[in-house]
Structure 1
Amino acid sequence: MDDGNFLARKLVLTEQGKRWISQFDELDQSAATLLANSLTLISHTEFRRELEKQVLVASAGIEGPIALFAVRELPKSCPDEKWMMPQTLPFYSCTVPSENGRSVSSVGTTADLGSEAVIAHMIRQLANGNPTKYLNHPTLSEMRERICRAVFVVDDFVGSGGRARSFLDSLWLEPTLKSWWSTKLIKFHVLAYSATDHGTKSVQRHKCTPEVSVHRDATSFEMLPLSLEKKELIRKLCKDYGARALKGNKNMWFGYKQGMCSIVFEHGCPNNTPAILWDMREGTTSWAALFPHRTISSEIASVFPTEIVRGDSVAALMDMGQTRLAKSGALSRTGTTGQIILLVLALIAKGHRKRTTISFATGLSAKECERIIERCIKWKFLTPQRRLTPQGLAELEAARKFRAQSQTSVDRGSDYHYPQQLRPTTC
């Protein structure tokens, strides 16, 4: 654990972070620091560990072999007419078969390798460790021979959902796979470390009706448990300085499709994040990005935590305007679960009911968030609609009024030593 502090706060203390901060006007540097401090940093270790767990959990309920594919950008057709959009091609027409003819290339030949290389390595290790269960980017003939029962499409981050849908489209264009699916011989699953609500819903609407599994909800800056004033400061910062970083493309000031996402992986920064974090114009030094060209330098990578840790609960309460609760000392009297429950109730009291916001504030995964919320509903602190009950309000009010008892020392040997210590203890 990191003593309850997000390691993202150390970003601005690196040399690269200092250069990035120095570009902002003095009055805007506090907002820029807040933006950097609010990022969720995902290390290679955290990413690999949790994504592999997802594969193992999802495969536990499937009898028979599973085909594993790493999501990547695939080549598309080049139409003769300029007005026509490039068309998705069948998957196996875009890939290179291996020498033994049992699998195909897991990464592109000319692509700038990012998440697909990390995921492809994980898939290779899983297949080598359990070759009867997992097939590493198999050919159709290999899937037929092994009687494959599921197709797992694995990705790091589903933002708009466009890349994952395009990859599914390519598989869907294979008549054999479509036939197997229509006769219920196989099922499609999409597994991602993180995803936005919009991206998840977009992928779920695909024709192959995939089951989507996400480890951690992707929080946007607009969903953070911050005051409206602080959110507006961050948005204004992205707009004003985005004009300097991307002078000719204002559509990317807030990230791809206005995503404003706040999650960054050690293998690369998603383009759904604000452009002032990653843009660095070719051949110029007009803007020193925190993640130049969406890459992570070794210096910046050094502050990525090996696992996601829970942030400072008191600071989180102060940020969301729960000042009395933050100063009450109530958090110190409970264990970890009690602190999280108080934090969840405080978030919902301020209108932050979405799981993405709760996940960011608590450091919990999507499943862990659901478990905590289910407990709160079971204990009648929340309604099934995630609204505070009278009992939940009473719990918060009692916590706000709590005051830690002062521990006064008494001189040993005093005539009043024993009764003075006993009385407050037994009352």
Structure 2
Amino acid sequence: MPDNFLDNNRVSAWLEGFQEGDRPNARLLLSLLKLVSADEFSSEMMTILERQVGHGSLPLALFNETERPKRKGRPHRLFKEEKFGKRLRAIDNVGPALVPRQHYIGEQIGSEGIVANILTQFKKLHSGDVLLSPGAGIIRKRKVRRFVLVTDFIGSGDRIVDFLNAAWRVRSVRSWWSRRNSAGLTFDVVAFSGTIEGIERVRSHSCQPSVHVSMVCPTIRSVLPPSKADEIEAFCIKYMPPRLADEALGYGRTGALIGFSHSMPNNAPAIFWKKFGRKDPLFPSRVTMGVGSPFSAATGTHAEQNRLGAVIGVESTGQPAQAITVETIVLTALRRGPRLSEAISGRLGLNLLVIEETLLKLKELQWINGRNQLTERGRLILTRLEENSAPKPLPKSRNGYYFPESLRVPRDV
């Protein structure tokens, strides 16, 4: 991140809240944080939705991921059912609201409001190919074959799984899904980003959804080597009261290193958004945009270059490589496993498609092999980059002062 971010008044005040010996870890953690601007978020969400229109049958049924009401721990059915003979059949023509109505004064709308606006705009662009939150009756009438659930971020996966469970409880939905190989219903989940653990949890749901993300979320464990990750996690826990120790790394102990212009996810380390030692957090109540907020200064091309520089510095052994291209950045990240494209995206916080294209290019250059391991040529490239970026010692001056190491009697005495 650029110097004017880390030197921001609020950042400086935040850093002063830590003991002097802990400030380097606080600064490192902050420098690894991936911050997503409103423009980047909207653009990437539109792009990934466009891909859904370009692949598979139409029309799409788009649903906004919102918190589902529950009874005894089970989410209510997504669609109402009525008895037809001995069978129950879903009959709703109107599906769940894009943004739930506020029943009580003071209730707040979260990221679902941002996503709802994007879905509304997308619907206007593809009015004939997209149905926005349709009911079961419309799905049946329009012969919808794809159920697409959209969210901003998959952290632990809890809310996504709750929504899918709400749909899965409907007998008609399970019946449509059972015929998915011919003329039934398939499920997709679309998000800007998600943790590897959250994505895998969603994929393991009974409806077997395909998960599509723009980038995998970097986390403390994915970005840092194990020993350094242990140190940073201990640092995060140290500044939380003992009763909040389980929340120190964020919900589900995720340690997500990402923030959006509309909010900081609760899966991020709590020291970013909770008070500690009577000190104000950097993003109070997970609000990233506000008067004096460093968020704006921490987004953009220069900020991204500095963030990647910090990541590469962590990845490198010895002096960090001078990562001047995306190829050398990815090559440096391949020093340690896992080496799958999703793992690399989560380590670097880069677009998943960019990672996949770069891996193909590295194979063409013969810098990595078919298992994404560095070849001799790849290791040579990194060695040369490190040599070029290593600090050069100052040349010894010939005009230096002479200091005798021993004394002897002059000859003329």
TM over 0.5: yes
Aligned residues: 370
Q: d(CA) in 2 for partners of 1:19 and 1:324?
A: 30
Q: d(CA) in 1 for partners of 2:389 and 2:246?
A: 50
2:116 aligned to 120, 129, 135, which one?
Answer: 120
2:263 aligned to 260, 268, 271, which one?
Answer: 268
2:327 aligned to 312, 324, 341, which one?
Answer: 341
Superposed displacement of residue 309, structure 1? 3.5
Q: d(CA) in 2 for partners of 1:361 and 1:159?
A: 15
Residue aligned with 2:68, SS:
coil
In structure 1, give the amino acid aligned to 2:266: N
Residue aligned with 1:297, SS:
coil
1:91 aligned to 73, 78, 82, which one?
Answer: 78
Q: d(CA) in 2 for partners of 1:297 and 1:399?
A: 38
Within 5 Å, which residues of 2 pair with 1:14-413? 14-77=8-71, 79=72, 86-92=73-79, 102=94, 104-110=96-102, 112-184=108-180, 185-225=184-224, 228-229=227-228, 231-243=229-241, 247-280=242-275, 286-299=278-291, 300=293, 301-305=295-299, 309-311=304-306, 316-323=311-318, 326=321, 339-349=325-335, 353=339, 355=341, 358-359=344-345, 364-400=350-386
Deviates more, 1:354-363 or 1:10-19: 354-363
In structure 1, give the amino acid aligned to 2:75: T
Relative to 1, partners in 2 of residues 1:233 and 1:375: Cα closer, same or farther, differing over 3 Å?
A: same
In the alignment, what sits opposite 2:406?
Answer: none
In structure 1, give the amino acid aligned to 2:15: I
Larger Rg: 2
Q: d(CA) in 2 for partners of 1:87 and 1:362?
A: 37
Contact 1:54/1:215 (<8 A) preserved: yes
Unpaired segments ≥5 residues, structure 2? 82-91, 391-413
User: Could you list the per-position Cα deviations for residues 33-80 of structure 1 after superposition, in whole angstroms to 9, with x for gaps in the alignment?
Assistant: 221121100122111110111111122112321111111111101x4x
Contact 1:193/1:216 (<8 A) preserved: yes
Superposed displacement of residue 306, structure 1? 5.4
Relative to 1, partners in 2 of residues 1:311 and 1:17: Cα closer, same or farther, differing over 3 Å?
A: closer
Relative to 1, partners in 2 of residues 1:25 and 1:171: Cα closer, same or farther, differing over 3 Å?
A: same
In structure 2, give the amino acid aligned to 1:238: C
User: Could you list the per-position Cα deviations for residues 184-209 of structure 1 after superposition, in whole angstroms to 9, with x for gaps in the alignment?
Assistant: 22211001111111111111111111
Superposed displacement of residue 113, structure 1? 1.4
Contact 2:330/2:355 (<8 A) preserved: no
Residue aligned with 1:18, SS:
helix
Q: d(CA) in 1 for partners of 2:264 and 2:319?
A: 37
Superposed displacement of residue 223, structure 1? 2.2
Superposed displacement of residue 348, structure 1? 2.3
In the alignment, what sits opposite 1:3?
Answer: none
Superposed displacement of residue 169, structure 1? 0.6
Relative to 1, partners in 2 of residues 1:88 and 1:403: Cα closer, same or farther, differing over 3 Å?
A: closer
Q: d(CA) in 1 for partners of 2:223 and 2:12?
A: 24
In structure 1, give the amino acid aligned to 2:315: M
Residue identity (%): 25
Contact 2:249/2:267 (<8 A) preserved: yes
TM-score, scaled to structure 1? 0.78
Q: d(CA) in 2 for partners of 1:144 and 1:314?
A: 52
Q: d(CA) in 2 for partners of 1:89 and 1:317?
A: 46
TM-score, scaled to structure 2? 0.80
Deviates more, 1:114-123 or 1:367-376: 367-376
In structure 1, give the amino acid aligned to 2:136: L
Q: d(CA) in 2 for partners of 1:351 and 1:61?
A: 32
User: Could you list the per-position Cα deviations for residues 353-378 of structure 1 after superposition, in whole angstroms to 9, with x for gaps in the alignment?
Assistant: 36466436755311211221122223
Contact 2:66/2:99 (<8 A) preserved: yes
Q: d(CA) in 2 for partners of 1:188 and 1:286?
A: 46
Residue aligned with 2:239, SS:
helix
Contact 1:11/1:37 (<8 A) preserved: no
Q: Which structure has the highest helix share of the two? A: 1
Relative to 1, partners in 2 of residues 1:304 and 1:107: Cα closer, same or farther, differing over 3 Å?
A: farther
Relative to 1, partners in 2 of residues 1:32 and 1:389: Cα closer, same or farther, differing over 3 Å?
A: same
